[in-house]
Amino acid sequence: MPAWTDQLVECVPNFSEGRRPEVIERICAAIEDGGEALVLDRSLDPDHNRSVVTFVAPPAAAVAAAVRAVRIARDEIDLRDHEGVHPRMGAADVVPFVPLRGVTMEDCVEVARRAAAAIGDELAVPCFLYGEAAARPERANLADVRRPRFEGLRDLVGSDPAWAPDAGPAALHESAGATAVGARFFLVAFNVDLASDDLDLARRIAREVRESSGGLPTIKAIGLRLEERGRVQVSMNVCDYRVTSLATVFREVSRRAEEAGVRVAGSELIGLLPKEAWDATASGALALPPASADRLIESRLDARQRAMGPPLGLVLGALASDAPTPGGGFAAGLAGSLAAALAAMASRISAGKAKDEETRAELVRAVGSADALGKTLLALAHRDAAAYGRLHEAWGMPRGTDEEKARRDEEIDQASRAAAAVPLEIAEMAARTTTLAALVLEKGRASLAVDVGTTALLAAAAAASARLMVLVNLPSIVDEDERARLRELADRHVELADRAAATVGAKVEVILSGGDGAG
């Protein structure tokens, strides 16, 4: 099974809202709603009144997720009432796409243009293409696109041909403004706070270090006043850390501040950055908080994947594809893990409302068992795909000579044993899940009977499906006794699962008909 991360686009939309976290939560929920995008980070700044969200998705899913996010921003953020120190032109101000893994910049240009067209057509928010996706050379620089800001664009869009949007209506959205959509390399948003309230100093340093004023290559910078912190800030975009490093930027800002008799109060990273931009001494050298080491996009992605596995939409897409894996064994393991998750849910709720300590203790133990079964079954689902991959490779081994044929036959035998062993374990874990369901139904709350019944039915189906995957691998196993042993064990697990599921099902029917039920 190919890793779901084989083709990923990073999207880092900036929203003109940093004071209402509930709005950003709704935006993040919308991004993940399609089941194929993962939100890795969100940063809210009340002074900037701005939020930066980082999510990853395959190219097509990234377009849909971005459109969903802009829709929420359009409906929830009104720039007519917006105040903040950061320049902005739209509720969804900037939507950049970055090639992360297995995609090119050209792919991201196509993604950006599709997203802009969808935002313009479906949401009636005009879009300007910038960066690598710019349709006009004068719009390659985001600062040039955003320079008139929301208030200035109201007079320009629709009246000045130079400000005709690249997508969407030829009029600014009355409350959501316009959105800049682009494709670019990794950008690191890096801010340095000065222990001073001298805004002129921050602006002078910003002017001296930014590229457009003859400063550091690939650096954009502005000076801002942070009212809530009581100091000023040099807010920067490091547009290509390979050209100008974070250490160089920090050194130049610090030197100029010290020459003015002002110390650096600290620095911060907004959003995530790639591991390549970070080194072992970065936190100390840049006056960053210790937690900044957690801002690596690769680390966040790996942690999210370990915690949750790939998004369900991607799993189902892989299962529905024309690839031979994942297949039936994976589906059986996934069904079993879903059953175990339902058992865990019913146990947790029931334990929290149990009337006596003995019942509560039993249900708490059931929670632990269900959680462990779910994790095991999900891991087995992925192992099944790997086991089939080994068998597929064995079938393709050369067999031109007697020696090659013997090696091939041996490898097919061993790979078939492994390919049968994994679904056999799935059947066993699924059977245990059905027996656990019987316990939860007996000790748990009657209001959860349907959930427990679903647990038993799903787990029994998982066991029966896994048995089929055992049987299909038996003919390639040479040892007849081993074939008989595997078949007997698979049959035994299914019989146990079926009996437990039948018992649970009968009790659930009684509960639903108004008879005596669980406690």
The pLDDT of residue 343 is 95
Q: Where in the chain is the domain with CATH 1.20.120.680?
A: 324-512
Please state the rounded mean pLDDT for residues 231-240. 94
DSSP string, 424-457: HHHHHHHHHHHHHHHHHHHHS-GGGHHHHHHHHH
Residue 169: φ, ψ to 5°: -70, 155
Q: Pick from 421, 463, 428, 450: which is nearest to 335 by CA?
A: 463
The pLDDT of residue 281 is 45
Reported confidence tier of residue 337, pLDDT bands at 50, 70, 90: very high
Reported confidence tier of residue 391, pLDDT bands at 50, 70, 90: confident
The pLDDT of residue 167 is 97
Catalytic residues: 86, 384
Cross-strand pairs, 177? 90, 173
Reported confidence tier of residue 12, pLDDT bands at 50, 70, 90: very high
Q: What is the pLDDT of residues 210-225, one digit of tens each?
A: 999 999 999 999 999 9
Q: What is the pLDDT of residues 271-297, one digit of tens each?
A: 888 888 886 345 556 877 766 667 888
Please state the rounded mean pLDDT for residues 111-133. 97
**The two structure tokens encoding residue 108:** 């991201």
Q: Are 215 and 196 in contact (CB under 8 A)?
A: no
Q: Where in the chain is the domain with CATH 3.30.990.10?
A: 1-184
Q: Of the CATH numbers 1.10.3720.10, 1.10.15.40, 1.20.120.680, 3.90.1280.10, which one belongs to the domain with range 324-512? A: 1.20.120.680
Distance in angstroms between the alpha carbons of the first and the last residue of the chain: 44
In this prediction the pTM is 0.64
The pLDDT of residue 273 is 87
The pLDDT of residue 257 is 96
**Residue 519 scores a pLDDT above 60:** no
Please state the rounded mean pLDDT for residues 359-366. 91
List for the chain the helix, strand, coil content (%; round to 5).
60, 15, 25
Q: What is the pLDDT of residues 255-272, one digit of tens each?
A: 999 999 999 999 988 888
3-state secondary structure of 233: strand
Reported confidence tier of residue 35, pLDDT bands at 50, 70, 90: confident
**Residue 324 scores a pLDDT above 80:** no
Q: What is the mean pLDDT of the chain?
A: 90
Cα distances from 119 to residues 42, 62, 66, 395, in angstroms, run 22, 13, 9, 49
CA–CA dist 172, 181 (Å, integer): 15
The pLDDT of residue 491 is 96
**The two structure tokens encoding residue 339:** 């059953």
**Residue 108 scores a pLDDT above 80:** yes
The pLDDT of residue 485 is 95
Q: Which residues contact 206 (CB under 8 A, 6 or more apart)?
A: 221, 222, 223, 234, 235, 236
Element (H, E) at 270: strand 264-270
Domain boundaries 186-288, CATH class = alpha beta
Q: Pick from 82, 69, 67, 78: which is nearest to 42 by CA?
A: 69
Q: Where in the chain is the domain with CATH 3.30.70.670?
A: 186-288
Please state the rounded mean pLDDT for residues 400-406. 91
Element (H, E) at 57: strand 50-57
The pLDDT of residue 280 is 37
The pLDDT of residue 452 is 94
Q: How is residue 33 annotated by DSSP? A: T
Q: At what angle do helices 449-473 and 402-443 cross, to 10 degrees?
A: 160
CA–CA dist 61, 64 (Å, integer): 5
Reported confidence tier of residue 307, pLDDT bands at 50, 70, 90: low
**Residue 311 scores a pLDDT above 90:** no
Q: What is the pLDDT of residues 436-470, one digit of tens each?
A: 999 999 998 889 999 999 999 999 999 999 999 99
Query: Buried b / exposed e across 194-221, counting CB within 10 Å, b at 16+?
Result: bebebbebbbebbbbbbeeeebbebbbb
Q: Are 156 and 89 in contact (CB under 8 A)?
A: no
Q: Which of 107-116, 301-310, 389-398 has the weakest average pLDDT?
A: 301-310
**Region 1-184: CATH code:** 3.30.990.10
Q: What percent of the chain has pLDDT over 70?
A: 94
Please state the rounded mean pLDDT for residues 139-166. 94
The pLDDT of residue 385 is 75
